[in-house]
Amino acid sequence: MGALIALAPASWFGGLSIIIRATTGFALLAMLLTATRGHVWLRMTRAGTATWAEWLPPVWFASLYGPLIGRDDLGADGMGQRGLWALGIASLVALGGYVIGYRRGMEGRLVRSSLRRRWPRWLLLQGSTPLERAAFRFSLLTLWRSERHILLVVAMLGAGLVFGVMQGAPERIPFFAGYSLIVALRMAFSVPASPAANWPFRLLAVAEGGEPARVARRLLWLHFSVLVLAPTLLTSSWAVTVTVLLTDAVLIEALLLDFRQIPFTVRSAGFRSSRMVHALLAVVGLGLMPWAGGRMAKWIAVEPLRVVLLAAIALLLLYYRRHAVEALTQGQPPLVFEDGEEEVIRLRL
């Protein structure tokens, strides 16, 4: 970050800052979740069976830490020197960058700047009504310009990818990635960008109708298609691709059953009060869905005609979604702008 503050153009700083922090967070999360394999990497480095392990920072710093506590068995020969070099270079770059970039930061040029993206016009005009088009444009730009929203999505997507790699089964990685991305986006929809973000849509909703679930559905499918489905199509078998498509299509509709809000606009006190429940459900689903998806992919790969049965089940679930939505939203307003929980106001008289 120090080098970024000192060298990055002001117009690029906002976007590059988010990318670097997301990448760094992903790397730290990966090291945390794979910490139990450190002794395996050290053993492979000492034996010379994997040269790639010599370039892992945990191996360097373990080799540097071992002699400091009097344990020569902890580490590998020559790796401690790489740890010293890495520590010294990182310290110099950080210190020099912050010293050079101090003036830019104090002048506020970096704070005011942000990365402006040129989105295709056809993409920003998605929607069948003016309300849906305005909501989609607002939601898309909010997601990619808001640090807390994009970092939330990247953190959960990174966790899913790390879990998938740790399983040692490449065919299950798309299931981990798809589930993590969809759940992360759905959770981000319930974090408002601003307390007053929904007022323009309240005025527009008076004259123009629209279904907010369509906006959320387009956002989910857009990011799922680009970040998960396209890479899966290029790197995995047809059975895995089809299974990922069908299972995540059902997951998207399940998460939008009672969705009656414009993304990033509702003050979600209810979400904050039950975020532990949401986290537990996400963890449980992260363990079950890739396991079930991997088994289904292997099952249809043996006999390709079985995909017809899997598609029929998915279509049947999607068909009955309409009845489930009617049951859940009966007697409820079609569009929600405030959380349903009552707020207690204390007057200090």
pLDDT of residue 336 exceeding 70, the answer is no
Find the mean pLDDT for residues 139-165.
82
Output the pLDDT for position 345: 41
Find the mean pLDDT for residues 269-293.
66
Find the mean pLDDT for residues 182-208.
71
Output the pLDDT for position 256: 85
- Alpha-carbon distance of 346 to 229, in angstroms, equals 50
Tell me if 95 sits within 8 A of 2, measured CB to CB: yes
Tell me the C-alpha to C-alpha distance, in Å, between residue 59 and each of 32, 35, 39, 132.
14, 11, 9, 52
Residue 36 burial class via C-beta count within 10 angstroms: exposed 0-12, middle 13-18, buried 19 and up: exposed
Tell me the C-alpha to C-alpha distance, in Å, between residue 262 and each of 189, 202, 204, 337.
8, 10, 12, 8
Residue pLDDT, tens place only, 38-64? 677 777 777 777 677 777 777 788 788
Nearest to 295 by CA among 310, 311, 283: 310
- Alpha-carbon distance of 17 to 114, in angstroms, equals 10
- Alpha-carbon distance of 38 to 31, in angstroms, equals 9
Choose between 91 and 12: higher pLDDT: 91
Tell me the C-alpha to C-alpha distance, in Å, between residue 166 and each of 61, 252, 284.
22, 25, 17
Nearest to 184 by CA among 327, 286, 103, 265: 286
Find the mean pLDDT for residues 2-31.
70
Task: Enumerate the H helices of the chain as residue ranges.
Answer: 2-7, 10-33, 38-47, 57-68, 79-107, 109-112, 121-124, 130-145, 147-166, 173-189, 199-207, 212-224, 230-235, 238-255, 269-273, 275-302, 306-329
Nearest to 218 by CA among 137, 335, 289: 137
- Alpha-carbon distance of 143 to 137, in angstroms, equals 10
Choose between 238 and 258: higher pLDDT: 238
Of 30-34, 102-106, 134-138, 286-290, the one with minimum mean pLDDT is: 102-106
Q: Which of the four pLDDT bands, split at 50, 70 and 90, describes residue 114? A: very low
How far is CA 333 from its chain centroid?
A: 30
Amino acid residing at 81: Q
Take residue 203 and report the two structure tokens written for it: 């005025």
Q: Which of the four pLDDT bands, split at 50, 70 and 90, describes residue 190? A: confident
Output the pLDDT for position 90: 82
